[in-house]
Amino acid sequence: MFAGLSTPEDYLRVIRNHKWLIIVPIVLCVTVAAALCQWLPKSYRSSTLLYFEEQKVRYVKGVDAPESPGREKPGDALMARIEAMREVLYKRELLTQVAEEFHLYNYDKQTTTPDKDNSVASRLRSLVQIDPKDASLLKVSFTDGDPALAKAVTARLADLFVEENTQARKVITQSSAEFLQHEFYTMKVQLEAKEKALSLFKQAHLGQLPEQMDSNVRAIDRLESEVMSQQEAEKALNLRLESVDKAIRAYEDPTSDAGPTGASRDPRVVRIKELERKLAGFLSLYKETYPDVAIVRNEIKQLQAMTTDDYIALFVDQEAAEGGSVKKGNHKFDPYKIELVKQREDILREKELVRLRQSRVAADMKKYESRIEGTTVHQQELMSIQRDYENLQKNYQSLLEKKLAVGMAGDLDQKRQGTKMRIVEPATMPSWPEKPNLMLVMFGGLAVGCALGFGSAFGIEIMRRGYVSAEEIEIALGLPVLAAISQFESAWPGTAKVSAWEARHQDRLLALPGLMKGGASVPEETQVSVAPELVAMWYPRSAVAEQYRVAATRLGLIAGKQKSTVVCMSSALMSEGKTSTALNMAYVLSRDLNRKTVLVDCDLKRPTVRAYTGMESTAGLTEVLLGHKTLDDCLEYHEQLGIWVLSAGIEVTGTTALTHVDRLSELIQGLRERFEYIVLDSPPLLPVAEAMLIVRMADVVVHVIRARSTPRDVVANAIKMIGQERAVAVILNGVEAKDTPYSYYNYSSKVYESHNQQLLR
């Protein structure tokens, strides 16, 4: 997580710190871009506008008008012919003519070769552009390094384009008319031949054509129904014939049980029964309205109304009249048998008619089936002939329309009503080069300069930034973090936000924070000299003091159950808060954890412990190491802090006293016997070489790092100097409120006042 540049103030700080690193690349890149604009070869493009005048006669299909008038769009005619116009303007003869007139590319018609003509024409094609501007305007442009030459060539190209377009339309119209006339005549002959072939085929295969298939199938269905009805009629006739034959046999053989006896030999009754059977047969085949059914019913009613004698007299008289006189001596004429014989003959005649009908229907079915088979055989051939005929018909119609369209175009051109082109805007003199794009080059140089400048500045800031959170330290260094101490200003209320150094430069004592109200002076007996940096004492309920207690507790866990522990407060550079951290840690160990603690100021070059504690300058560590004083003479007890203090001393000897390593070791050993915690405030590791002597004598090294300030590589070098022989922990000091992961609690001013008053008692 990168939190080093999280606010606008952070970005402004980076820009302010690296302003020359940003300005120099921008200036250099812009200068290089300006030089490129002067050095790069320039090309100028001149252009002219041609007006595309629509024909005066509208909606002539195929002649400068859309084929679908309902979908016409403005400029469709121009878009439809733009490619043809390109071919006109890009003709090799036209381009070489322009090259010769203006001596382009050292072209000379007398000494040229076909390869050179093609090369010059190809080069000019790449420089000449034809673009439609809108529905009726066409833009022609040319590019060259000389703006005057670009203008002249563009004007000449426009003139030649208009002339060539006019001539090309005439030539195209004439040649198209001749070609279409020839094709039209040829197509007409082919179409007539194909029509004749199709007619002959249909005549030769009449009844077997695909379009007659349905009628043939329906005819077969009708014949099949008729066959079924004839078969049923034949079955009924057979039943009737069998019944009549049986009656005749029964009549001729009186001994048979089936013969007529008694009343059954009555011819009238027999005739009535016969008619009833006939009526039943008719009803099985026909409806009540059938004529034969009505005749049979009437005859039955007449017979039922007659007597037997009347029937015999009437029947005998009729037979005698039809057959002549009967010989005398013959037996009485039997009308019953005569009737049976007559019925049998009628049935046989009807069966013969049914057989004739069946034969006719079978012949018709065979004829229609052969037609259906012939349709399947000739269908492919007919489809091929019809397809060729339809294609020829379409081609013929298309040629006819084109022929009419070309003729109309020729008439329009002759009457000056066709499509025309004219120059509406002469060739322009270019004043700004098309290539290179000077604005783009300058903006590109500015963008590259900004990218290099700002990228370098922010890159260096990111690479050199300090640590922001405890998680970053644990991941990067692999060391435990005792606490992340917020800035002291977050715990200082009101007038206490004056640094200890400013107060001492003003030669006054710091008043206890929170006791000055309304500008009133503080009584002399209430004045104290402990700096406000000792937050653990002044503001014990603040989040900063709480973090010091957390650090002291974790330090105790690292030290374990040792009887006495030497803790060395180290830092890589100056001004990282090492001394204030040592004072606050010593205070917390003594007051909060009830551990007997001594603070030793080992920074002999820049001693600050006395300034922070407000103690007077007396003999200290320097005098003890040089042998001028004893340890008991130099140790002082601080009542307010509750700790013992061994200051740096008053003799100005630099760090030469630390060369007495044996005496320093004996001193620390003596302190181990008297105190539980010995806190050593060592000088910075990197600028002071003697700091390593102090670090080696410690059990635990607490390395102080200022957040967002100490570079990472500096911290890594300092940790490397400490080594791995002893326990090392880290305190991250000066963490900003926005970076701290802990929750801050707000206390009322009354709480501070009550606590501070207790301290003053």
In whole angstroms, what is the distance from residue 138 CA to residue 50 CA?
5
So what's the pLDDT on residue 479? 92
Q: Is the pLDDT of residue 701 over 90?
A: yes
Where are the alpha helices (H) located in 539-577, listed in sequence order? 543-559
**Of the candidate ranges 292-306, 503-517, 543-557, the one whose mean pLDDT is the lowest:** 503-517
Structure confidence at residue 76 as a pLDDT band (50, 70, 90)? low
In whole angstroms, what is the distance from residue 596 CA to residue 675 CA?
5
Task: Count CB neighbours of 108 within 10 A.
Answer: 10
Q: Is the pLDDT of residue 721 over 70?
A: yes
**pLDDT tens-digit map of 214-224:** 888 888 888 88
The token pair that represents 173 in the structure block: 């119209």
Nearest alpha-carbon partner for 72 in 58, 84, 83: 58
Nearest alpha-carbon partner for 426 in 128, 159, 136: 159
Coil vs helix vs strand at 451: helix
Task: Count CB neighbours of 365 within 10 A.
Answer: 17
Structure confidence at residue 320 as a pLDDT band (50, 70, 90)? low
In whole angstroms, what is the distance from residue 247 CA to residue 342 CA?
13
- What region does 391 belong to: left with phi over 0, alpha with psi -120 to 50, or beta? alpha
Cross-strand bridge partners of residue 568? 680, 701
Burial of 606 (0-12, 13-18, 19+ CB in 10 A): exposed
Q: Is the pLDDT of residue 496 over 60?
A: no
In whole angstroms, what is the distance from residue 649 CA to residue 654 CA?
11
In whole angstroms, what is the distance from residue 616 CA to residue 575 CA?
23
Nearest alpha-carbon partner for 700 in 673, 729, 675: 729
So what's the pLDDT on residue 723? 86
Q: What is the mean pLDDT of the chain?
A: 76
DSSP 45-57: EEEEEEEEEPPSS
So what's the pLDDT on residue 61? 44
Range from 56-60, 354-358, 648-652 that averages highest in pLDDT = 354-358
Structure confidence at residue 590 as a pLDDT band (50, 70, 90)? very high
So what's the pLDDT on residue 532? 81
Structure confidence at residue 754 as a pLDDT band (50, 70, 90)? very low
Cross-strand bridge partners of residue 47? 141
Residue 68 to residues 56, 60, 72, 409, Cα–Cα distance (Å): 18, 10, 7, 18
In whole angstroms, what is the distance from residue 687 CA to residue 318 CA?
168
Q: Is the pLDDT of residue 470 over 70?
A: yes
Q: Is the pLDDT of residue 679 over 90?
A: yes
Coil vs helix vs strand at 614: coil
So what's the pLDDT on residue 658? 61
So what's the pLDDT on residue 18? 79
Structure confidence at residue 65 as a pLDDT band (50, 70, 90)? very low
Bridge-based pairing state of the strands 700-706 and 727-735: parallel
Q: Is the pLDDT of residue 552 over 90?
A: yes
So what's the pLDDT on residue 395? 83
User: Which is more confidently placed, 120 or 83?
Assistant: 120
622-630 average pLDDT score: 86
Q: Where do the domains of the chain lie? A: 13-40+436-464, 43-174+411-425, 215-358, 470-488+534-738+749-760
Structure confidence at residue 13 as a pLDDT band (50, 70, 90)? confident
Helix axes 438-464, 19-39, angle to 10 degrees: 160
Residue 620 to residues 513, 600, 605, 655, 673, Cα–Cα distance (Å): 30, 9, 13, 13, 19
**Of the candidate ranges 71-75, 176-180, 674-678, the one whose mean pLDDT is the lowest:** 71-75
Coil vs helix vs strand at 303: helix
Architecture of domain 43-174+411-425: 2-Layer Sandwich (3.30)
- Residue 210 near residue 379, CB atoms below 8 Å: yes
- Residue 564 near residue 699, CB atoms below 8 Å: no
In whole angstroms, what is the distance from residue 155 CA to residue 144 CA?
13
In whole angstroms, what is the distance from residue 316 CA to residue 53 CA?
114
CATH of 470-488+534-738+749-760, one of 3.40.50.300, 3.40.50.720, 3.10.129.10, 3.40.50.970: 3.40.50.300
Q: What is the CA radius of gyration of the chain?
A: 65
* Percent of the chain residues past pLDDT 70, beyond the cut: 75
- Maximum CA pair distance of the chain? 203
**Of the candidate ranges 232-246, 302-316, 512-526, 558-572, the one whose mean pLDDT is the lowest:** 512-526
Structure confidence at residue 394 as a pLDDT band (50, 70, 90)? confident
Residue-wise burial string across 668-681, b where 16 or more C-beta atoms lie within 10 A, e elsewhere: beebbeebbbbbbb
So what's the pLDDT on residue 744? 43
Q: DSSP class of residue 43?
A: B
Structure confidence at residue 501 as a pLDDT band (50, 70, 90)? very low
Nearest alpha-carbon partner for 726 in 702, 700, 704: 700
Residue 223 to residues 228, 285, 371, Cα–Cα distance (Å): 9, 18, 15
In whole angstroms, what is the distance from residue 534 CA to residue 580 CA?
7
So what's the pLDDT on residue 222? 87
* Percent of the chain residues past pLDDT 90, beyond the cut: 14
In whole angstroms, what is the distance from residue 735 CA to residue 197 CA?
105
Q: Is the pLDDT of residue 614 over 50?
A: yes
Q: Is the pLDDT of residue 347 over 80?
A: yes
- Residue 177 near residue 406, CB atoms below 8 Å: yes
In whole angstroms, what is the distance from residue 450 CA to residue 439 CA?
16
- What region does 562 belong to: left with phi over 0, alpha with psi -120 to 50, or beta? beta
What sign does the dihedral 199-201-206-210 (CA atoms) show?
Answer: negative
Contacts of 95 (CB under 8 A, 6+ apart): 120, 121, 124, 125, 128
In whole angstroms, what is the distance from residue 28 CA to residue 372 CA?
96
Range from 4-18, 305-319, 661-675 that averages highest in pLDDT = 661-675
So what's the pLDDT on residue 170? 64
Structure confidence at residue 511 as a pLDDT band (50, 70, 90)? very low
In whole angstroms, what is the distance from residue 43 CA to residue 368 CA?
87
Task: Count CB neighbours of 471 within 10 A.
Answer: 13
So what's the pLDDT on residue 554? 93
